[in-house]
Amino acid sequence: MFDWRWEFVGDILPRLLKATGNTLLAALLGYGIAVVLGLILALAQRTHYPLLNRTVREFVEFIRSTPLVLQIFFVFYVGPQFGIMLSPWTAGMIAIGLHYASYLSEVYRAGIDSVPMGQWEAATSLSLSAARTYSRIIIPQAIPTAFAGMGNYLVGIFKDTPMLSVIGVAELMHTANAIGSEHYRFLEPYTLVGLIFLAISLPTAGALRKAEGKIRENMGLR
Amino acid sequence: MRPPTGDYPLRLEDEHIPMVRFQNVTKRYGDLVVLDSLDLDVEEGEMVTIIGPSGSGKTTVLRMLMALEMIDDGVIYLEGEPMTHMVKNGTLIRADKKYLRRQRLNIGMCFQHFNLFPHMTALENCIEAPIQVLGLSKTEAVERARDLLDMVGLLEKSDEHPSRLSGGQKQRVAIARSLAMRPKVMLFDEVTSALDPEVIGEVTQVIRKLVDKHNLTMLMVTHQMGFAREISDRVCFFYDGKIEEQGAPEQLFENPERERTQQFLSAVLEAT
Amino acid sequence: MTFIEFLKTYGPQLANGSVTTVMQTLLAAGLAILIALIAGLMRLSHSRLIYGAATVYIEVFRGTSLLVQLYWIFFVLPLFGLSLEKFTAGFIAVGMNLGAYGAELVRGGILSVPKGQWEAATALSMSPAKMMRRIIFPQAFLNMLPPWGNLLIELLKGTALVALISVADLMFVARKINGVTYLSAQAFGTALIIYYLMSRGLITPFMRWLEGVMTRKLGKA
Ligand SMILES: Nc1ncnc2c1ncn2[C@@H]1O[C@H](COP(=O)(O)OP(=O)(O)O)[C@@H](O)[C@H]1O
Ligand SMILES: [Mg+2]
């Protein structure tokens, strides 16, 4: 009917699977950056320096309100204008890491805000120090809430990696484009890319949901 | 760091020193004056109950003494030493965090909604601060916590998380948690208001025990007039951030002098 | 070239691109809202077929990337005899993608209305359709507005991808200027600022206003 060629699929699948490795690597590297940087952005907003708070807040808002793909171009092309050459991978990881760091900083903030005021007051009434209050009382309770958001963004960053193809990172989408223009066939490569994404993101999302329930249970929060 | 206005001694030096003294304490939220130049002494070993309409500032009194927030004017003294302020170069200045943390050790507080740490078992709730703050060894802390859990009748629930406990049981654990710090003053803020009627007794029973057997100084906010009357040494009726009337329970409940007290008491009696 | 000169020279092009971006956003938002309502309600159906169809749609569109969907709609659909013009393919892909996310907001919003409201409406013998329209949906709508504000910003950001199938939107224009002038900071920087202004200067205030209106309407203020 629409001329799906299995043997072409057989030819290109190994190449796509190899590129899947790059996609996963990009997602995990970017996420690693985002997890750490996001925490710094979140904590910076809880300090008592109004100027720092404001600046970081506005920065996070700016990153969250503008398209990732444009940020990727920005990071990749602006460097050379000032004599700094960044490889596609470096530029891509900076852009996507920073973008998701902004998202994760909000997740951390929401997690901490989800802990009721009474918990802070109880900790204060027991004379627990600020560090102890964070590490023993607040953060453990913020984790289940934050975990859900962190999981969503792990799947999210994975699904956003195709945007790295625009600056030549050889991930899945980039490879599918290359195959398409070599063979003048787009049906199989693009469909396969879609299926590979589904095959990874659906089970991951399901597993993360289960894990969240487990975490709550293990902490006695149910 | 504004010093309090007016004359306040650097420490109380009378021959009789109250356990707690509120002197001219004012607390505002924006334009709203929640505590209005409050003066109140609580003697060592005394049980003082605060009653009054909702919004009259009862919770605020306890929160100020617990130093959960700063007062705007006046000074609170604890055993004759300033609690909200400290002495520097011969004047009173606002207490810093470190000073407050040390002073808070003398005070324990139980909240209307328990505020147990949900990710810790009953026992863990009770040993956390003794280990971390008082520096007790784990063995000592556990021993102390088990004694207290036994006292409130919940030894067999030591390893349960709060989510597996009833409201009355949670509140009893919360009381044990506060007592584990060996405070000199205990504060109870409507500790039975969030409870089902049939479990209120198990909590009041514990408080009664504290009054009978220990020489704790206590400040309690409650809506249970019968219990207040039976257990208090003194009852304060709050209205609009001020003490409208205070006295021995028999006197205040049977012959209230002020009209507002009479109205409040008859309205409360009507409701029960 | 100073920044002022840059704006003088390329301002008109950037403005044209912005207009295209706004149009893509409006059309995609309309489609996304429509799909979200339909798929969200279908997810509440007791019929396994209806529920299943909506679930498959939502999982497929949320489980893959917008860029993959866009390419698929633009490059692959023609093989099935359905050729879409690039402008149309652009907003349809964005609308269908964000509609899948919106469907979950609709479903969540409706489920967030307390059970007592359903029971009270049932006790008044309201028909299911009336109950949904007059009692449940208005309350659900208010609950959903804040997350929809975020979703619309995601949608605006999503439209930037249509530049990759050569729709001449803001992103496309910025790339073109960059290609001609190599003034990357100016070209991409200005575009970023325009996107930011659209998000925080148009979408956020509009959603706040709508929330205010609905809150007053429902007498919750
Ligand atoms: N954090 C706060 N911000 C603003 N107003 C507050 C705050 N806490 C309490 N209030 C106000 O202070 C008044 C007294 O509160 P509270 O001491 O809790 O009253 P009570 O315990 O007697 O019911 C109330 O009018 C309350 O609304
Ligand atoms: Mg109160």
Q: Using one digit for the tens of pLDDT, what is the confidence trace for A62-99?
A: 999 999 999 999 999 998 888 889 999 999 999 999 99
Q: How confident is the model at residue C221 (pLDDT cuts 50, 70, 90)?
A: low
pLDDT, one tens digit per residue, over C22-77 is 999 999 999 999 999 999 999 999 999 999 999 999 999 999 999 999 999 999 99
B58 lines ligand 1 (CB under 6 A): yes
- Find the mean pLDDT for residues C115-129: 84
Q: Is the ipTM of this complex over 0.85?
A: yes
Listed residue (A51, A46, A163) closest to A108, CA to CA: A46
The backbone region for C169, taken as left when phi is positive above 0, alpha when psi lies in -120 to 50, beta otherwise, is beta
Q: Taking the domains of chain C in order of start, what are their residue ranges? A: 3-217
Interface residue A7 vs chain C (CB under 8 A)? no
pLDDT, one tens digit per residue, over C164-200 is 999 999 999 999 999 999 899 999 999 999 999 999 9
Interface residue A46 vs chain B (CB under 8 A)? no
CA of B45 to the centre of ligand 2 (A): 24
Q: CA A219, CA A203: separation in Å to the nearest integer?
A: 24
Q: Phi then psi for C168, rounded to 5 degrees?
A: -80, 65
B55 lines ligand 1 (CB under 6 A): yes
Predicted local confidence at residue B6, as pLDDT: 67
Q: With contact defined as beta carbons under 8 Å apart, do A29 and A93 qualify?
A: yes
Residues 18 through 37 of chain A touching chain C, CB cutoff 8 Å = none
Q: CA C64, CA A158: separation in Å to the nearest integer?
A: 9
> Which amino acid does the sequence have at A184?
Y
Two tokens at A3? 């001329």
Predicted local confidence at residue B1, as pLDDT: 42
CA of A88 to the centre of ligand 1 (A): 57
Q: Which residues of C touch A85 (CB under 8 A)?
A: none
Q: CA C40, CA A128: separation in Å to the nearest integer?
A: 47
**Partner-chain residue, chosen from B67, B102, B118, that has the shortest CB–CB distance to A220:** B118
Q: Where are the beta strands (DSSP E) in B177-264?
A: 185-189, 217-221, 234-239, 242-247
Place of tokens 């000199």: B184
Residues of B with CB under 8 A from a CB of A: 63, 66-68, 101-102, 104-105, 107-109, 111, 113-121, 128-129, 132-133, 161-164, 177-178, 181
Q: Which residue of A has its CA nearest to C202?
A: A65
Domain C3-217 CATH superfamily = MetI-like (1.10.3720.10)
Nearest bound ligand to the CA of residue B53: 1
Q: CA C217, CA B83: separation in Å to the nearest integer?
A: 50
B232 lines ligand 1 (CB under 6 A): no
Listed residue (A205, A52, A202, A35) closest to A103, CA to CA: A35
Whether residue A4 is predicted with pLDDT greater than 90 in this model: the reply is no
Residue nearest to atom 16 of ligand 1 (CA): B57
Two tokens at A102? 């902004």
Place of tokens 């429509």: C34
Give whole-number Cα distances, C45 to C50, C107, C119, in Å: 6, 10, 18
- Our CA-based measurement puts residue A109 at a distance from the nearest CA of chain B, in whole angstroms, of 19
Residue nearest to atom 3 of ligand 1 (CA): B29
Listed residue (B118, B115, B148) closest to B130, CA to CA: B148
B241 lines ligand 1 (CB under 6 A): no
Q: How confident is the model at residue C129 (pLDDT cuts 50, 70, 90)?
A: confident
Q: Which residues of B touch A140 (CB under 8 A)?
A: 119
Residue C203 per-residue DSSP state: I
Q: Which residues of C touch A66 (CB under 8 A)?
A: 157, 192, 195-196, 199
List of domains in chain A: 6-218 (1.10.3720.10)
Q: With contact defined as beta carbons under 8 Å apart, do A34 and A104 qualify?
A: yes
Q: CA A161, CA A34: separation in Å to the nearest integer?
A: 14
pLDDT beneath 70: ranges in chain B? 1-6, 272
Q: Taking the domains of chain B in order of start, what are their residue ranges? A: 118-182
Chains contacting C (3 or more CB pairs within 8 Å): A
Place of tokens 């949670």: B170
Predicted local confidence at residue B272, as pLDDT: 67
Q: What is the pTM of this model?
A: 0.84
Chains B and C: 3 or more CB pairs within 8 Å of each other = no
- Residue from C192, C202, C203 whose CB has the most chain A CBs within 10 Å, to mutate: C192
- Our CA-based measurement puts residue C64 at a distance from the nearest CA of chain A, in whole angstroms, of 5
